[in-house]
Amino acid sequence: MSKSKTVLITGGTGNIGSQLVSDLLKDNYQVVTTSHSDNNITKLKYQFNDHCQDGSLHVINVDLEEKDFAQQIVTYLEKNSLQIQTLVNNARNTNYLKIDQNNEINRTNWVGEFLLDVVVAYELAMALINLEKSKLNNIINISSIYGMVAPTPQLYNDFEKESPINYGVAKAALIQLTRELAIRLADKNIRVNSISYGGVEGRTDEDFKKRYGQFCPAGRMLKREEVYGAISFLLSEASSGMTGHNLVVDGGWTTW
């Protein structure tokens, strides 16, 4: 595969994002990603130094919560003659998942989670679509099983303190955004799909992993290297007939 296809993935330095960047590069895609952490950007560039040098990886330092974030990204793309074929909305800010002493989510965290999950995904898609010579034909939104079903209280040591309600509500909204955009962008030949992942290893201890396995038909959490398969499929022509779909990759979690 030649590097004729360019993928923009937001949040490319996180647990899932960095894995996807790695897998996309291995699959010979040109990758553009975003982060607002100087430290994480430095680590990513060091890890993929050769790809940065040959132009197959571009990392944009941008705060997605700024009102002009989309224009900052567009300006970078135009300056570097980059044309995006696929957008993967993956950005996260775990600070918005903090629960206060009353076991509630404050308004700032509600708004922040919804902004990154839904509003930013919409605004960035529109900015790329409205480019004069837009090549965008594929949008993939990263959602979660908690956008489909409510959490299982028994999974947590302290359910009220460990399971933020705004996470699942925002992910559910992202799935609905996927359906809405699939309809509204169909006449532009742009496919829009989402992926709802189950729990992915990387930020949990062994006790949590064991409890998770008891509630999942597969008996375990997803491995980081298992995340890319669904992305690869939605990037390929094998999925050309799919739009408005929420692809579930959860080891069977939502079947029970």
Catalytic residues: 144, 167, 171
Look-up: residue for tokens 């992910």? 171
Closest CA to 190 of 239, 233, 138, 229: 138
DSSP 50-103: HHHHTTSEEEEE--TTSTTHHHHHHHHHHHTT---SEEEE----GGGG---TTS
In sign, the C-alpha dihedral spanning 117, 118, 121, 124 is negative
Cβ pair 220, 209 in contact under 8 A:
yes
CA atoms within 13 A on the CB side of 64: 29
